[in-house]
Amino acid sequence: MARSKIALIGAGQIGGTLAHLAGLKELGDVVLFDIADGIPQGKGLDIAESAPVDGFDASYAGANDYAAIEGADVVIVTAGVPRKPGMSRDDLLGINLKVMEAVGNGIKQYAPNAFVICITNPLDAMVWALQKFSGVKPEKIVGMAGVLDSARFRHFLAEEFNVSVKDVTAFVLGGHGDDMVPLVRYSTVAGIPLPDLVKMGWTSQEKLDAMVERTRKGGGEIVNLLKTGSAFYAPAASAIAMAESYLKDKKRVLPCAAYLTGQYGVKDMFVGVPIVIGAKGVERIVEVEFTGEEKAMFAKSVASVQGLVDACKQINPALK
Ligand code: A3D
């Protein structure tokens, strides 16, 4: 069986890390695309030269021409600009919307049947615009955010409880903004929901609330530390988990920004919800029951995404 082809649009911090992880996990051959001349070529060659040391087989190519992504099975998009300290994700909208138009045209021409994962911020609006520009079927395009946000929550919880991250599951829904919705009721340690762990004295409600808040601001915490850009190791690992589930038909249940057609009362928008990713792309959208409070938090988050989508339509009236 021929190896899968993975195209990475954007060869910056996340793009380079994606390329390395895809090789280490032997997910397929990698093409790095960027507008910057030499960066995708240099990173591709550098990683290819690490392959003999780590013992993986994958070919690497760098390109500044979209023709190189032709026939890709998976396309992961990180093209655009990241946040600097003091910026919100939404500040990136105008610049990155233009980038999505160029990327969408490239995908439409050369890889219209790929499974597309968007990472560029502001995530929920950019994946919406990318779907419109590329014409990729809604079940073949998702945004990466929930896996990362959940991983951050899991890390904080595992540290607090002093248990393996493997036994901590977390459930974060909604848009990828400061009003994302970490659902404590559905987050567990080995199946024990967090509210029960509070009752059992493993942690206090105050500490749990603080971890929820830290999760919401998790991206900003890293931006403030790095000062020159935003997180890239955990975002790349998260997108690779999504790509792997598609390529290996693993049917993992992952929180992703998916196109909703009425689920959760939302239409024609990408919002973070649990989905099953398999060989057909988004194979199922999981609808859970919310309490009144959760419903209100989700509605607030959806309203923020709607605001960003409306802003995209204003900037580019061709987007309907
Ligand atoms: P960075 O290291 O700057 O890489 C971005 C790359 O995109 C650079 O190499 C640019 O040259 C390239 N680029 C710019 N314009 C184009 C274009 N038109 N076509 C092709 N390539 C282009 O950024 P990064 O890798 O750290 O982050 C990339 C994006 O991911 C940013 O928008 C971040 O805000 C976003 N991000 C999202 C999350 C989520 O959880 C959703 C997390 C972290 C970062």
Cα-to-centroid distance, 83 and ligand 1 (Å): 9
Is 121 annotated to bind a ligand? Reply is yes
CB 240 within 8 A of CB 18: yes
Is 119 annotated to bind a ligand? Reply is yes
Residue 20 is among the residues annotated as catalytic for this protein: no
Mean pLDDT of 155-179: 95
Is 14 annotated to bind a ligand? Reply is yes
pLDDT(86) > 90: no
CB 211 within 8 A of CB 160: yes
Cα-to-centroid distance, 210 and ligand 1 (Å): 29
Of ligand 1's listed atoms, the one at least distance from the Cα of 96 is 32
**pLDDT category of residue 20 using cuts at 50, 70 and 90:** very high
pLDDT(166) > 90: yes
User: What average pLDDT does the structure give for the chain?
Assistant: 96
pLDDT(227) > 90: yes
What values do phi and psi take at 113, rounded to 5?
-105, 5
Say what the pTM is: 0.98
- What was the pLDDT predicted at 178? 86
Assigned architecture for domain 5-144: 3-Layer(aba) Sandwich (3.40)
- What was the pLDDT predicted at 88? 83
**pLDDT category of residue 152 using cuts at 50, 70 and 90:** very high
Residue spans per domain, the chain: 5-144, 146-310
What is the per-residue DSSP string for the chain?
-PPPEEEEE--SHHHHHHHHHHHHTT--EEEEE-SSSSHHHHHHHHHHHHHHHHT----EEEESSGGGGTT-SEEEE--S----TT--GGGGHHHHHHHHHHHHHHHHHH-TTSEEEE-PSSHHHHHHHHHHHH---GGGEEE--HHHHHHHHHHHHHHHHT--GGGEE--EEB-SSTT-EE-GGG-EETTEEHHHHHHTTSS-HHHHHHHHHHHHTHHHHHHHHHSSS---HHHHHHHHHHHHHHHTT--EEEEEEEEEESGGG-EEEEEEEEEEEETTEEEEE--PPPPHHHHHHHHHHHHHHHHHHHHHHHH-TT--
The residue nearest atom 32 of ligand 1, judged by CA position, is: 120
Cα-to-centroid distance, 57 and ligand 1 (Å): 27
Assigned architecture for domain 146-310: Alpha-Beta Complex (3.90)
